[in-house]
């Protein structure tokens, strides 16, 4: 009896979650509503069954998420009876920080990175789960599963704790914390195959459907509400599109696709020739931007 | 080639889910063609996407070391990382993933130089197989031996020796066979289960994925076929059952389950199991895997087990097979790899972390270090960064473990610094020490409480720390007089006096100072156990040793007294003329001059001596004891 690849990944992730629950005093799970969060939540429900996961979910709401994401989030928390915390950087709201006038970098820093730091400090969390995977991006490939942050939430890539076997160093001093990535060793394909195998609900935006979009800077942006400023020379088209990743709608590009079911997505993935985060405006905004953001405390 | 693979993958799509998984470590330096090999594997297994492929074509023309358009320079695919490596960022482990229709792979890519031994060890700890790259022109080198040794030390059982750059030696069969022979000769004793040899050219793809037309004399498997064929799971399923307990799942009074990931063997409903630390026996009532009740679970699965009896069992303990139990001991011998720039010193106290247990521990003896190039044993007093040593370790309470040789999951530990929480070392347990079996605490009826009651006092240890000449002994002396006058039973341990007797074999190196404090602390502990109030007057310059001393005692028993005198004042007083000598360079390792003093941050009593009479300070301590 040999475990399959997905069974091994599942067991590793569950082991990591249990280590956190057993050794930290105030853990939290960052819930971004995307497919990775859906998988992470599903694993947490398994890890502690029949108990509920012994930590709350935290969503950093930038106020610019797709409407379908917010609906999905609230429905999921209600159906599962989970403790969902939602935090928005109110300073940013007061200053009307938005992706158009402030640029992707400044906007993300205010509404995501700073907002996250505010929330972690406010609640005093000493461990925070994130859905990051090593196949996503070069700097993630080097990050530990238990990734240490100092009291200012800073990641020091040159000074990471060696991580051997399944023996994790879970110790932190006051005000220090650990970001924990239980999906480190999963690939995008694994995530979809697991979603398929376990029948995990995901936001319908991942599945192809006719949606109103405009073309801007080589990206297909969905017109999710009337805050998207459509220029005179831009025209709103109805195209059959879906999203490979989900974030803030003015910064997340759609792809044209006919994949209307999860098996069709997997089929599409096996032939797709571009990388997953290509649709994210924020990543290409500046050179080596992911590593820089991570060092500042972004997930 | 690309299209064919693509079609295969489409056909095999459903099979992916049942595919197996292999963790691969690559060892070799840049010159051996490691980057080229990894680039080649990613490319030939379709992991290189369009945008990356056009960049590769462009870069090959611009920077590539290969000539002509036909051959791409695959090393450039990982080139971005190499550039970062120079800045010291990727002197670390990077994980890459690739998939074939038969299997999924994760490659731990680690640098090969000697100063990165710890990084290689990190990558090796979870690997099933190691690819050892050898440059066909150079044959077996020092670094080949080192990489192979570390792989063996970390318990990797399968090795593939990739003899690369065969194109540069005209695909010479004799040369290849000579290299295989040389490798076998030195690796015979390292305990590998399988060693495969592949003559290869990563640059041109010979024998990487498909058989090479240039080496028809080679009838063996390609590198990828080797990787696809290795059966790494055979290793633990047939071993005795082990379930390290991570947490107790207790959502309500009707359910009490024990959660963990099975570390060896299998377990079924109805099986007898034993709690490793207490020896209590029960039977398995049910097994949860996720939300499903299962009849049987095996090595690697994360489960929650419910027992028929209500036993004392919590995190750090283990459920095990009754016929074949793990060791339970507080002393053991282990191979230790040191990670930290501050050397490991015997006698210093660390946190020992196993998969699920965490406990104070001391390396009592460093028996020898191992030269990782020649495998020779060397005597040493400290273990430096990147060194491997064989040590005796003593823990504050017994822990459950197997020999690392028998089980990598239950036979490992890491050592953690108590102040910074840095992971400073990692260990692989060889065996328990015999004396741990035979020496049992002798339970006595007359205990500390009884002895102290007879003396009408509470045992205490007043630990005076401060620079030489700060006034420790003067003040301690006065405190003892005050206490004696009140009928208290006291004893004073003075640094100088102890060094004349018990510690006369010790010098003043950092290692010797650690041992000096350890002995004083142990003697103080015996005296406190006898019911005495003990006054210890030692410079004790290092925080970690004072902490180690503190942890020997019950809560509130240990009173740290910081005798705080500025070094200028100590040097001015200079009662023994030592500062003068130290400043003249006649005394080595003199605290405050040529050796550091780490001041206490939160002592129970902080005495600033300048401007105060010793008697007033002594009375301050007396008052503290009365109030406490």
**Inter-CA distances, B330 with B278, B315, B356, B430, Å:** 14, 17, 16, 14
Q: Tens of pLDDT along A189-202?
A: 899 999 999 999 99
Instruction: Report the candidate in B332, B371, B327 with the shortest Cα–Cα distance to residue B352.
Output: B332
Q: What is the pLDDT of residue A138?
A: 67
Q: Tens of pLDDT along B447-466?
A: 888 888 888 889 999 999 99
Are A50 and B255 inside 8 Å of each other by CB? yes
In this structure, are residues B199 and B163 in contact, taking their beta carbons and an 8 Å threshold?
A: yes
Q: What is the pLDDT of residue A230?
A: 81
What mean pLDDT, rounded, does chain B reach?
Answer: 85
- DSSP β-ladder status, B490-494 and B533-537: parallel
Are A4 and B18 inside 8 Å of each other by CB? yes
Q: Tens of pLDDT along A86-144?
A: 999 998 888 888 888 888 888 888 898 899 999 999 999 999 999 999 887 766 777 88
Out of B316-330, B406-420, B452-466, B575-589, pick the least confident.
Answer: B575-589
- The answer, yes or no, to whether residue A173 has pLDDT greater than 60, is yes
Q: What is the pLDDT of residue B442?
A: 45
Q: What is the mean pLDDT of residues B283-305?
A: 95
Q: What is the pLDDT of residue B81?
A: 52
| B148 CA: distance to closest CA in chain A (Å) | 18
Q: What is the pLDDT of residue B168?
A: 92
Residue A249's pLDDT band (boundaries 50, 70, 90)?
Answer: confident
Bigger pLDDT: B389 vs A151 = B389
Q: What residues are paired with B383 via a beta bridge?
A: B344
**Which of A162, A164, A275 minimises the CB distance to B49?**
A275
Are B423 and A275 inside 8 Å of each other by CB? no
- The answer, yes or no, to whether residue B489 has pLDDT greater than 50, is yes
Q: What is the pLDDT of residue B58?
A: 67
Q: What is the mean pLDDT of residues B18-47?
A: 77
Q: What is the pLDDT of residue B64?
A: 56
Q: What is the pLDDT of residue A234?
A: 85
Are A275 and B291 inside 8 Å of each other by CB? no
The contacts of residue B40 (CB under 8 Å, 6+ apart) are: B74, B202, B203, B205, B208
Residue B16's pLDDT band (boundaries 50, 70, 90)?
Answer: very low
- The answer, yes or no, to whether residue A203 has pLDDT greater than 90, is yes
Q: What is the DSSP letter of A172?
A: -
User: CB distance from A276 to chain B under 8 Å?
Assistant: no
pTM above 0.80, yes or no: no
Give chain B positions within 8 Å (CB) of A173.
Answer: 421
Q: What residues are paired with B335 via a beta bridge?
A: B390, B428
- The answer, yes or no, to whether residue A271 has pLDDT greater than 60, is yes
User: CB distance from B286 to chain A under 8 Å?
Assistant: no
Bigger pLDDT: B63 vs B295 = B295
- The answer, yes or no, to whether residue A239 has pLDDT greater than 60, is yes
Are A163 and B122 inside 8 Å of each other by CB? yes
Q: What is the mean pLDDT of residues B305-319?
A: 93
Q: Tens of pLDDT along B549-587?
A: 998 898 889 999 999 999 999 998 888 888 888 888 888
**CA separation for the pair B351, B421 (Å, rounded):** 9
Q: Please list the active-site residues of B.
A: 540
Phi, psi (degrees; rounded to nearest 5) at B408: -70, -25
- The answer, yes or no, to whether residue A15 has pLDDT greater than 60, is yes
Chain center to CA of B450 = 42
User: CB distance from A231 to chain B under 8 Å?
Assistant: no
Residue B103's pLDDT band (boundaries 50, 70, 90)?
Answer: confident
Which of B231-235, B355-359, B394-398, B496-500 is the most confident on average? B355-359
Nearest residue of A to residue B407 by CA position? A165
The contacts of residue B516 (CB under 8 Å, 6+ apart) are: B495, B498, B499, B503, B506, B538
**CA separation for the pair B177, B175 (Å, rounded):** 5
Residue B66's pLDDT band (boundaries 50, 70, 90)?
Answer: low
- The answer, yes or no, to whether residue B439 has pLDDT greater than 50, is no
- The answer, yes or no, to whether residue B318 has pLDDT greater than 70, is yes
Residue B51's pLDDT band (boundaries 50, 70, 90)?
Answer: low
Q: What is the pLDDT of residue A292?
A: 66
Give chain A positions within 8 Å (CB) of B79.
Answer: none
Are B355 and A165 inside 8 Å of each other by CB? yes
ipTM of the prediction: 0.89
Residue A279's pLDDT band (boundaries 50, 70, 90)?
Answer: low
User: CB distance from A288 to chain B under 8 Å?
Assistant: no
Q: What is the pLDDT of residue B82?
A: 52
Q: Which of B:216-255 have CB within 8 Å of A? A: 233, 237, 246-247, 249-251, 255
- The answer, yes or no, to whether residue B522 has pLDDT greater than 50, is yes
**CA separation for the pair B429, B482 (Å, rounded):** 51
Are B409 and A18 inside 8 Å of each other by CB? no
Q: Tens of pLDDT along B212-245?
A: 888 989 988 999 999 988 887 666 778 899 999 9
Q: What is the mean pLDDT of residues B332-353?
A: 92
- The answer, yes or no, to whether residue B18 has pLDDT greater than 80, is no
Out of A57-66, A235-244, B57-66, B448-457, pick the least confident.
Answer: B57-66
Chain A with chain B: Cβ pairs closer than 8 A: 168
Give chain A positions within 8 Å (CB) of B424.
Answer: none
Q: What is the mean pLDDT of residues B436-441?
A: 46
Instruction: For B65-115, list the strands marked E by DSSP.
Output: 94-99, 103-109
What mean pLDDT, rounded, does chain A reach?
Answer: 87
Q: What torsion do the CA atoms of B322, B323, B329, B334 make, to the nearest 10 degrees?
A: -130
- The answer, yes or no, to whether residue B310 has pLDDT greater than 50, is yes
Q: What is the mean pLDDT of residues A145-159?
A: 85
Q: What is the pLDDT of residue B440?
A: 40
- The answer, yes or no, to whether residue B2 has pLDDT greater than 50, is no
Q: What is the mean pLDDT of residues B154-164?
A: 93
Percent of chain B residues past pLDDT 70, beyond the cut = 86
Q: Which candidate in A10, A12, A17, A18 is best for mutational testing of the B interface (most B CBs within 10 A)?
A: A18
Residue A48's pLDDT band (boundaries 50, 70, 90)?
Answer: very high
């Amino acid at each position: 009896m040999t475990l399959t690849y997905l069974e091994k990944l599942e067991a590793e992730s569950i082991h990591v979650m249990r280590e956190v629950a057993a050794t930290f005093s105030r853990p939290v799970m960052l819930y971004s509503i995307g497919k990775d969060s859906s998988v992470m939540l599903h694993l947490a429900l398994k890890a502690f069954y029949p108990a509920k996961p012994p930590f709350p979910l935290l969503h950093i709401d930038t106020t610019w998420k797709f409407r379908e994401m917010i609906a999905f989030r609230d429905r999921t928390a209600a159906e599962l009876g989970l403790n969902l915390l939602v935090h928005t950087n109110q300073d940013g709201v007061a200053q009307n920080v938005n992706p158009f006038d402030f640029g992707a970098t400044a906007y993300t820093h205010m509404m995501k990175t700073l907002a996250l730091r505010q929330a972690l400090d406010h609640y005093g969390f000493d461990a925070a789960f994130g859905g990051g995977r090593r196949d996503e991006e070069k700097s993630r490939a080097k990050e530990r599963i238990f990734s240490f942050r100092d009291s200012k939430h800073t990641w020091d890539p040159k000074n990471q704790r060696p991580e051997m076997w399944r023996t994790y160093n879970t110790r932190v001093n006051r005000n220090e914390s650990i970001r924990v990535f239980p999906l480190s060793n999963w690939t995008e394909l694994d995530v979809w195959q697991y979603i398929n195998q376990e029948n995990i609900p995901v936001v319908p935006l991942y599945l192809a459907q006719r949606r109103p979009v405009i073309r801007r800077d080589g990206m297909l942006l969905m017109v999710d509400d009337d805050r998207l400023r459509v220029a005179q020379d831009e025209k709103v088209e109805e195209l059959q599109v879906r999203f490979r990743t989900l974030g803030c709608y003015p910064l997340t590009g759609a792809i044209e696709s006919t994949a209307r079911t999860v098996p069709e997505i997997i089929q599409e993935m096996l032939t797709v020739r571009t990388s997953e985060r290509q649709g994210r405006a924020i990543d290409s905004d500046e050179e080596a931007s992911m590593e820089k953001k991570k060092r500042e405390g972004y997930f | 080639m690309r299209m064919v693979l693509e079609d295969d993958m489409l056909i095999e799509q459903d099979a992916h889910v049942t595919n197996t998984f292999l963790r691969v470590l690559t060892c070799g330096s840049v010159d051996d063609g490691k980057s080229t090999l990894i680039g080649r594997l990613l490319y030939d297994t379709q992991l290189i996407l369009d945008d990356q492929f056009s960049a590769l074509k462009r870069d090959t023309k611009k920077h590539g070391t290969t000539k002509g358009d036909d051959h791409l320079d695959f090393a450039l695919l990982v080139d971005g990382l190499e550039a970062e490596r120079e800045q010291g960022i990727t002197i670390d482990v990077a994980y890459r993933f690739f998939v074939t229709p038969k299997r999924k792979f994760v490659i731990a890519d680690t640098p090969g130089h000697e100063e990165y031994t710890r990084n290689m060890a990190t990558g090796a700890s979870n690997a099933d197989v190691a690819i050892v790259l050898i440059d066909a022109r150079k044959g077996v080198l020092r670094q080949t031996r080192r990489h192979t040794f570390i792989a063996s030390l970390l318990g990797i059982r399968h090795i593939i020796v990739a003899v690369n750059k065969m194109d540069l030696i005209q695909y010479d069969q004799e040369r290849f066979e000579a290299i295989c022979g040389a490798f076998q000769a030195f690796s015979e004793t390292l305990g590998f289960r399988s060693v495969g040899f592949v003559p290869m050219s990563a640059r041109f793809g010979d024998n990487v994925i498909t058989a090479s037309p240039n080496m028809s004399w080679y009838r063996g498997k390609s590198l990828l076929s080797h990787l696809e064929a290795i059966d790494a799971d055979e290793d633990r399923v047939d071993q005795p059952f082990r379930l390290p307990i991570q947490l107790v799942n207790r959502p309500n009074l009707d359910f009490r389950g024990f959660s963990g990931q099975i570390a060896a063997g299998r377990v079924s409903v109805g099986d007898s199991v034993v709690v490793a630390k207490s020896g209590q026996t029960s039977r398995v009532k049910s097994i949860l895997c996720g939300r499903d009740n299962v009849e049987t679970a095996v090595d690697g699965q994360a489960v929650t087990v419910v027992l028929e009896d209500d036993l004392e069992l919590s995190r750090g303990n283990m459920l095990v097979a009754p016929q074949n139990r793990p060791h339970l001991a507080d002393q053991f011998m282990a191979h230790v790899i040191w990670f930290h720039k501050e050397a490991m010193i015997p006698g210093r106290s660390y946190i020992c972390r196993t998969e699920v247990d965490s406990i104070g521990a001391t390396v009592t003896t460093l028996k020898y270090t191992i030269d990782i190039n020649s495998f020779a044993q060397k005597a040493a007093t400290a273990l430096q960064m990147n060194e491997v040593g064989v040590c005796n370790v003593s823990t504050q309470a017994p822990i459950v473990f197997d020999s690392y040789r028998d089980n990598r999951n239950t036979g490992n530990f890491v050592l953690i610094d108590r102040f910074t929480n840095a992971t400073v070392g990692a260990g692989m347990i060889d065996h328990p020490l015999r004396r741990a079996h035979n020496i049992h605490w002798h339970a006595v009826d007359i205990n500390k409480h009884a002895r102290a009651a007879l003396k009408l006092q509470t045992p205490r240890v007043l630990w005076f720390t401060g620079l030489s000449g700060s006034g420790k002994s003067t003040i301690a002396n006065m405190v003892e007089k005050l206490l004696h006058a009140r009928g208290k039973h006291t004893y004073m341990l003075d640094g100088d006096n102890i060094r004349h007797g018990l510690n006369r074999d010790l010098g003043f190196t950092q290692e010797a100072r650690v041992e000096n404090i350890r002995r004083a602390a142990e003697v103080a502990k015996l005296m406190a156990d006898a019911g005495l109030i003990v006054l210890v007057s030692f410079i004790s310059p290092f925080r970690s040793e004072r902490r180690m001393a503190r942890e020997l005692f019950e809560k509130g028993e240990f009173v740290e007294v910081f005798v705080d005198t500025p070094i200028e004042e100590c040097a001015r007083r200079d009662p023994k003329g030592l500062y003068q000598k130290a400043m003249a360079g006649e005394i080595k390792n003199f605290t405050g001059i040529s050796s550091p003093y780490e001041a206490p941050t939160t002592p129970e009593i902080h005495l600033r001596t300048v401007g105060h009479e010793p008697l007033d300070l002594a009375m301050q301590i007396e008052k503290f004891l009365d109030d406490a």
